Structure 1
Amino acid sequence: MSSKLEQKIAEFRITFIAEFNDKLAVLTKLWSNARTSQSLEAVKKFRFEVHSLKGSSGALNFLTLSNRLGIIEEKIAPCEEQINSLKTVIPFIDRHMNSMNEASRNTPNSLLVLQEAASLLGELRDPQKNKEEITPQSYRDIKIALIDDNENTSAVNAKLLAGFGFTINQFNSIEQLEKVLQKNTYNLVLIDTDNSTNPSEKMFAFAVKLRTFDTDVFILSSSSSFENRLSAVRSKVNEYLLKPVNITTLVSKIRKNFKIDLIRPYRILLLDDQALVGSFYKTLLEDEHVEVLAISKADAIMTELESFHPDVFLLDMHMPNISGLEVARLLRQQAKYDYVPIIFLTSDDNIKTKLEVLECGADDVISKSTPPNIIVQQVDSRIQRGQEIRYLASRDSLTGVLNHGQIMDAAAHSLRLSKRQEKPAVVVMIDLDHFKGVNDKYGHLGGDKVLVSLGQLLLQSVRDTDYVGRYGGEEFMVVFSNATPRVIESKMNNILTAFLHINYTVDKQSFNCSFSAGLASSTDHEKLSELISSADAALYQAKDAGRSQICVDVLNK
């Protein structure tokens, strides 16, 4: 981790040390009230403060203090169920509270919290392999080597992939590719194992070698045997695809593997009632090039989610008046967060807590005393898996844009947000011109190429806050937030111009395509159905006027 981050974390520790005497005084007063009144309310307040201080001290790696507070919490917790048992634990807690207060009085600046066996900065300075920053790629960035000793199938696959914009080099054997590996680098190697003279063991050994070149590997095979699949897993093969492989399936797998459709960095929503702890984790995670929204009040979460779309939720377990478990259940009641991972950051790591976390629909529990680099790895792993699942559930399998249900949800969300923020949203309906003729003349392969290219062109042309979806068939919908019809009309004309210059080739025949589009603004429509209907009407106006043009809803002119 960077020296800048180390300095930041050191500052958090210094702040904690400076505030520790005051926190200990509050804890001592709460314990005095609890042991004197022996009321359930007083006991709960004391335990909550113990738990909070244990969490923050553990997060900042003051492990001796965190462990001692954990012992106190373990003793006081049963008293919330049976208040009469408080008398039996008073002497035990008295000893620990007196010990902490004595250390605080005798040691300047509360060096109690500094006397730690483990050094946070020492852990941070351990050599770490920097995590590769995930960035989206376009088709033209991906260079593919295809190994297939059957010249006919190799030529067909190479031609199909080249038609989708990939750079393809063909090789008839492993040996032929090995000769050029030192000079030529490839993002992906496709190994067709059928009819090969090489034994399977050699192919999988070569796959392992390719990984040392940071090259991904797909296996194309007619064998679905357990042994081959296991060998592929052990060789770190990225995909094992059964032949015959549909070209659109292969393109979809390549797109997913290289995160072509990822258009923004990770976003994390962090909820922790302790501002210091929230700031600590925000600093820690933002050093990994992610965007973190840290909030300290649970009742603010729904408002924030109107404009912030997280890839993972990080929740504190225990907060005033509400538990993290209740927040998790609230989130899981909403379908749009079904596939967003929920992780609890807590100092409470007993097995009962972990079971409760799973039962409420959350995905993981991370102890606040976990070393920072391990926390980052766990969060990163959950985000990647969550993104993969969410991608599969929300995307149109061919084009990579949102499917019909997801684009409708996105449009409804944008309309609500535009009304609340008083900033207009624009909906654009797009329809490919004479698309049936393309399918009739060039087959579905030609039609699929056109659909994929338009979807990708739209994705590359919009902002992170906009949405692109496949409305159905050859029709697409784009939702622009905080936009005016005049600006979007100009933008769509630029996209149309770019689309008109894309050349497609099928069976040595080249052709181009166009689209028509209609747009409407939320300024003139209260309901989503009305907004879409107006954009649709403008689309048909463009069709009637001769196609290959953009028309604006008459109310927006």
Structure 2
Amino acid sequence: MEMTVGSAIDDIADLATEYRAMLSGLLDEVANHWKHFERSSTWAEAKPHLDALTHLAHRIAGSAASFGFESVSDAALRLERVLRPMADGSGDSVSASPDLEGLMIALLEAPQTVQDAPCLPNSSLAYARVSAAAERKPLFIVDPDSERASRIASQIAAFDYHSRLFSSVEDALSAVSDTLPCAIVTELEFPSGPMDGAKLASRLGGTIPVIVMTERTDFAARLAVARCGCAAYLPKPIEALDLVNWIDDLTGLKPGADLRIIVLDDDRLVAEHHGAILRAAGMQVEVLTEPTALLQTLERFAPDLVLMDMYMPGCTGIEMARIVRQNRRYLGLPIVFLSVESDLSRQFAALSPGADDFLTKPIRPDHLVQSIRTRAVRARDLRQVMETDSLTGLLSHAHIKNRLMSEQTRVQRTASPLAFALVDLDHFKQVNDRQGHLAGDQVIRSLARLLSSRLRRTDIVGRYGGEEFAIVLPDTGPTEAAAVLDDIRALFKRISHQGNEGEFHVTLSCGLAMFDPEHPGDGQVLTADKALYRAKALGRNRVETAVPGTTHIRHV
């Protein structure tokens, strides 16, 4: 879900307004159950009201501070610490703790004023702001040879970087005052001076990463460039992918899927509050208020982490963690509890059934973002090491097939379209024989990087084997899928590579098949393979689509 920082803050302000209106109703419920609890003469009469009071105290303690009502939250937390042991007791009597009445009065009379404005600290949104701003920034290419600059711009445009061209250092510096680029790629030597490209970095004071391109390989040139503060030194000839990799690393804009987080809390406003904070930090979030909906959402949403409350009516967080861990598919999925529980023994007990971490409510937005991102990224990185191909970083053969099968299961329930494509490099054996295996590996990596930048974050791509790639396009019809794949084909054809015989280009062929419920499983793969074979037979460098329900295959 796309969300700007401004809209996230607006959402949280709206939630705070809604919570303020709801808080008085929650306190009225507390007063009502307290009245009935005091009048109860037996445990059977008292227990329902005691359970309700415990749940309400827990709910208010965990939610009030999130919206700025610190005094109310503190009073509810003190009350819950007394109520919970009573609710968990054997029920021998209905006698209340001597302090209970005082704690109840303290909660009901706590000032309902906001001590802390319910907004997001700047630090919690720094990542979101930087990323959003960087995505809008162009790349500056500075080169006195306009034709050479245009060729470079054309090459990196295939990887979704948009460039502005300048023929002199002064022109580029003037443009920086109006438009801040994500990075600057510059020639080293200019008519105005042999090192003017490198001096561009020193004049910018290190505020923008500068990449120098040059035919010089001597130590003196490298030292001068380093002293000017340039971020990278690329001797010519330059592979387009090498340049793109440097830009990726220096700008942090390498394409990748957003972190996917499920927030489960029976208090809707609290769940939405935490969800809005995580969305503002660039994560995709699914908010749930019913534990019974979690298993189906896990299958559909495929999260990187689950954040859940520990105390929920009907099914506690501990019980929910046990249920999740019963499925081997989710043994490595991080589960983090978020609760007002501050007793360390209870926290450790909560971790033993399968949770990975424990965060205490209320939590500062920046701490929430940092904790969730750190845990989710570590889990995703570990999963990628186990599931991805070492050369390309894409999913391996087995895992791309597993993801295809999962998507097939999903669309059988939703009846949405599912496209699958096999992509194969043309005449790749000749590339290895003539240009060398290192050049061949570079071609494979270039296609992998192109697929990552041109496909949606919801699409799934893997290396199927050798020079063959597999792509799963959920919720995509045949016309749209074919158009996307043909665009990738055309872009890849333009990318230049360097090998034993100098510069060369490679084309690709593609076979596309739609999911047919009558032929699930490998049937879609076999159909795509037939379409790919047809593309090769018809001359390569083309996309062929298998017509659903027939044996016909058509060209895009």
TM-score class normalised by the smaller sequence = 0.7 to 0.9
Question: How many Å apart are 1:406 and its aligned residue?
Answer: 2.6
Cα 1:549/1:178, change in 2 over 3 Å:
closer
User: Of 58, 68, 73, which residue of structure 1 is paired with 2:65?
Assistant: 58
**AA at the equivalent of 2:28:** D
**AA at the equivalent of 1:325:** I
Conserved? CA contact 2:338–2:358, under 8 Å: yes
- State whether structure 2 residue 335 is matched by structure 1 residue 342: yes
Conserved? CA contact 1:61–1:369, under 8 Å: no
User: Equivalent pairs: percent with the same residue?
Assistant: 26
Q: 2:321 & 2:210 partners in 1: Cα distance? A: 39
Q: 2:33 & 2:23 partners in 1: Cα distance? A: 15
Question: How many Å apart are 1:507 and its aligned residue?
Answer: 4.1
Query: Which residue in the other structure is 2:521 paired with?
Result: 528
Q: 1:10 & 1:41 partners in 2: Cα distance? A: 30
Query: Which residue in the other structure is 1:513 paired with?
Result: 506
Question: How many Å apart are 1:127 and its aligned residue?
Answer: 8.4
Query: Which residue in the other structure is 1:73 paired with?
Result: 80
- State whether structure 2 residue 126 is matched by structure 1 residue 134: no
**AA at the equivalent of 2:463:** R
Cα 1:33/1:514, change in 2 over 3 Å:
farther
Conserved? CA contact 1:404–1:472, under 8 Å: yes
Cα 1:180/1:369, change in 2 over 3 Å:
closer
Question: How many Å apart are 1:296 and its aligned residue?
Answer: 0.8
Cα 1:7/1:180, change in 2 over 3 Å:
closer
Question: How many Å apart are 1:77 and its aligned residue?
Answer: 2.8
SS of 2:395 mapped into structure 1: coil
Question: How many Å apart are 1:532 and its aligned residue?
Answer: 0.9
Pairs within 5 Å for 1:55-454: 55-83=62-90, 89-101=96-108, 103=109, 112-114=110-112, 118-120=115-117, 130-131=126-127, 132-134=129-131, 180-183=201-204, 187=209, 261-334=254-327, 337=330, 340-454=333-447
User: Of 47, 55, 70, which residue of structure 2 is paired with 1:48?
Assistant: 55
Q: 2:327 & 2:256 partners in 1: Cα distance? A: 24
Q: 1:54 & 1:170 partners in 2: Cα distance? A: 61
Q: 1:263 & 1:294 partners in 2: Cα distance? A: 22
List per-residue Cα deviations over 1:94-151 (Å, max 9, x = no partner).
Answer: 33224545x3xxxxxxxx24257x4335x8578888334436989x98899xxxxxxx
Q: 1:268 & 1:496 partners in 2: Cα distance? A: 34
After TM superposition, the structure 1 stretch with the greater mean CA deviation from structure 2, 37-46 or 274-283, is: 37-46
Question: How many Å apart are 1:308 and its aligned residue?
Answer: 2.6
Question: How many Å apart are 1:256 and its aligned residue?
Answer: 6.9
Cα 1:382/1:29, change in 2 over 3 Å:
farther
Cα 1:458/1:525, change in 2 over 3 Å:
farther
SS of 2:274 mapped into structure 1: helix
Question: How many Å apart are 1:339 and its aligned residue?
Answer: 5.3
Number of aligned residues:
492
List per-residue Cα deviations over 1:274-331 (Å, max 9, x = no partner).
Answer: 1222233234444445443221111112333344343432211111111112323433
- The alignment yields a C-alpha RMSD, in angstroms, of 4.6
Query: Which residue in the other structure is 1:550 paired with?
Result: 543
Query: Which residue in the other structure is 1:15 paired with?
Result: 21
Question: How many Å apart are 1:428 and its aligned residue?
Answer: 0.9
Q: 2:131 & 2:387 partners in 1: Cα distance? A: 20
Cα 1:329/1:442, change in 2 over 3 Å:
farther
- State whether structure 2 residue 470 is matched by structure 1 residue 482: no
After TM superposition, the structure 1 stretch with the greater mean CA deviation from structure 2, 249-258 or 280-289, is: 249-258
Q: Which runs of 5+ in 1 are unaligned?
A: 104-111, 145-161, 198-202, 220-246
**AA at the equivalent of 1:19:** G
User: Of 527, 541, 554, which residue of structure 1 is paired with 2:534?
Assistant: 541
Question: How many Å apart are 1:5 and its aligned residue?
Answer: 5.7
List per-residue Cα deviations over 1:345-399 (Å, max 9, x = no partner).
Answer: 2111221233234334433322222233433343344344444444444432322
After TM superposition, the structure 1 stretch with the greater mean CA deviation from structure 2, 179-188 or 450-459, is: 179-188
Question: How many Å apart are 1:250 and its aligned residue?
Answer: 12
Q: 2:383 & 2:242 partners in 1: Cα distance? A: 18
SS of 1:445 mapped into structure 2: helix
Q: 1:31 & 1:126 partners in 2: Cα distance? A: 45
SS of 1:319 mapped into structure 2: coil
Conserved? CA contact 1:268–1:310, under 8 Å: yes
SS of 1:528 mapped into structure 2: coil
Question: How many Å apart are 1:56 and its aligned residue?
Answer: 1.9
Q: Which runs of 5+ in 2 are unaligned?
A: 142-155, 162-183, 189-196, 213-217, 221-225, 234-239
Conserved? CA contact 2:201–2:208, under 8 Å: no
**AA at the equivalent of 1:530:** G
**AA at the equivalent of 2:336:** I
**AA at the equivalent of 2:320:** V
Q: With the length of structure 1 as denominator, give the TM-score of the two structures.
A: 0.73
SS of 1:471 mapped into structure 2: strand
Conserved? CA contact 1:425–1:482, under 8 Å: yes
Q: 2:399 & 2:250 partners in 1: Cα distance? A: 22
**AA at the equivalent of 1:47:** T
Q: 1:503 & 1:369 partners in 2: Cα distance? A: 54
Conserved? CA contact 2:75–2:106, under 8 Å: no
Cα 1:385/1:542, change in 2 over 3 Å:
same
Q: With the length of structure 2 as denominator, give the TM-score of the two structures.
A: 0.73
